[in-house]
Amino acid sequence: MKQRYRNCRCLKQEVDALLRSNASYQAQHIGKGTTPKEKEEVNRYCYEQFILPIKDLDKEFFESIS
């Protein structure tokens, strides 16, 4: 089965919004002085809030990015 992400404009917009939110959150919370523990927390949060929801939208695309 082809990835729906590539074939459905509405779905692509939803996924792209989650990816933008993920990138924005990481840019705001990870910097030069961020400790490894803080980075781990940011990554965990981003995975749960922005990346994991993509699995419900398009499992194949999710697997390609995780």
pLDDT for res 5: 83
Model confidence, pTM: 0.87
pLDDT for res 53: 97
DSSP string, 7-64: H-HHHHHHHHHHHHHHHHHHHHH--TT--HHHHHHHHHHHIIIIIHHHHHH-HHHHHH
Q: What is the residue-level pLDDT of the chain in tens, covering all 66 positions? A: 456 888 889 999 999 999 999 999 999 999 999 999 999 999 999 999 999 999 999 999 999 998
